[in-house]
Every structure is written in structure tokens, then in C-alpha cells.
Amino acid sequence: MSLQTLGLIPREGIALANQRHDDGAPPTAEVTPIRKVRARGGVEMPALGLGTWTMGEKGSRRKQEIAALRLGFDLGMSMVDTAEMYADGGAEEVVAEAVRGRRDEVFIVTKVLPENASYEGTIKAAERSLRRLGTDRIDLYLLHWKGSHPVEQTLAAFERLVQEQKIRHYGVSNFDVADMEAAERHPLGPGIAVNQVEYNLTQRGIEGDLVPWCIERQVAVMAYSPVNQGRLTVEQALTAVARRHDTTPECVALAWTLRQPMVVSIPKSANPDHVRTNARAVTLELSKEDLEALDRDYPPAGRGV
């Protein structure tokens, strides 16, 4: 049964991304319907997007990486996550080329490094990211992880960037519940709309505390490495569920993350076949039997990020 059927996602939350082909030809296949996740502060983003970790590191792969991102956009995955850390800004430059001519279709997420996250440092880092991205605004700007600079300085800088219309929303990454609660006590803490953390079948600790905490406060959880960077241990249950649905274990693992109403996933791939498979995860409905089988082979363990 789907989340929409259960009433967790309204019908109007299903949207189609604009489809475009570089050669100007009409679409040959329907864009994958991807539900929208709505978080506090008015954030609205597709439940499935695209990651860019390791992109921009090698010039020889640049055309392939850009093509993979554009294919993802064509298939409805109209959100892309990057960071100033990735390839020292090179990944942001790859994103800039991928969104050229279609910026308004894509929800861009990028991140400031903790060593740059003082008040002034955050402002300057955002301006550098804007230049590399070739855009006048960042849709969602995250603190990559907690560092030595007080979080209240980073949040104050985020708020200034919002007022200057250089970013639309802000959030954090790799924060556990204690970190979230500490940030929430700051006057600008309720402006945190997203927490990006590792989440996959083998990394389920956030289900014990962070996910319920975020759901209660309408903070979206953005799952990075949802298939463990392609190194997911494929147990018997995962193989069986994939066979039952005539798909790949990776597609099942990705669909598994999307069963949570406030979770969005950002798998990274420069392989066009993998991008197409990832897009199909949004239409894969896992049964109660499927989920129970996966729980047996990948049991929840502990708490925390």
C-alpha cells in the first residue's frame, strides 16, 4: 500500500517534473511521478533527488556526470545535492552545467564546511557557491556537520542570506537528536527545515530517535548513501524482494528509504542505467511481507546518526 493511499501524502503532492531533451525532441516516455515532501518553513522538494559525491574530481568523467544529472532531471528527479567540499567546489561546477537553461526546474541543495561556518565565513562561502553554481539563489543551504564555530553564528548567517534572497531555506547535516535539540533552543533553530544524514538498510540508527523527532517537528530527513555508495550487502531477503518485483536489489533498497513520509533520498550515480533504475524506486510499493523480510535480514540497531 502506498503512502498516498494511507493518506500520508495528499494527491496534490504528486507532481511531474518538466521533461526536456537536449536535441529538442518530444518526450518518448512519461516522466516518473515523484511525490513532494513538505517540511516546515514552506520547503517543498521531491522525495527522490540526485547526489554528486565524487563528481567533478576527474575531467575525463565530466560529460558523463553532466549527462547523468540531466537524465535524472528528465526522469523527474528535479533535486540535486552538492557541497563546497565535493572536489573542492568542482561538483558545484558540474551542477552548474547540468542545470544551465533549466534552473527554474531544479531544486539545488549545497553545503558549507564547518571550518567556514562562522557568521562572516558562511556568508562568503555561500557567495562562492553561488558563483560556482552559476545561479542567484540556493534553494536549500546546509551546515555540512557540526564544527567549532557556534551554531548560532551559522544560523544567523543563514537568516541574513534568506533576507538577501541568496538562499531560500536552510538546514543541517549529520546532526543527532542532541544536536538538533540544542539548535532548536536558539531563536532561529525552528528555521531548520532539513537534516541530511546517512540512512540505508545497514545504517538504521536514526529510526530509533532522530526520525520520530523530525517527523514530530516537520523537519525533513534527507538520506545520503541510501544504497551505501553501491556497496550495500545484499542479503537473501533483499534478493528475494527484488526478484518478486522484477527489479534490482538497489532499487528495492532505495524504495525502502522512501517508505517514510518525511524522508527524501539522494542517490548518486553517473551511470545512466542506474539513474533510470533509481527513478523507478518511486513507483515500487513494498508490501508488509517485503518489509518484514527486510527487517529480519537488516534489523534496526541502536540509535543515533
State the catalytic residues.
86
CA distances for 144 relative to 82, 109, 181, angstroms: 10, 11, 17
All residues at 6 or more sequence positions from 192 whose CB lies less than 8 Å from its CB, including other chains: 155, 170, 171, 172, 180, 183, 184, 219
The residues that bridge with 45 in the sheet, in sequence order, are 37
Contact 272, 71 (CB under 8 A): yes
User: Other C-beta atoms within 10 Å of 26: how many?
Assistant: 6
Contact 162, 42 (CB under 8 A): no
Q: What value, to the nearest 5°, has the Cα angle with vertex 110 and ends 108 and 112?
A: 160
Cell of 260: 517514510
**How many contiguous H segments (helices) and E segments (strands) does the chain have?**
10, 10
Distance of CA 293 to the CA centre of its chain: 26
All residues at 6 or more sequence positions from 172 whose CB lies less than 8 Å from its CB, including other chains: 142, 143, 146, 179, 180, 183, 192, 194, 195, 196
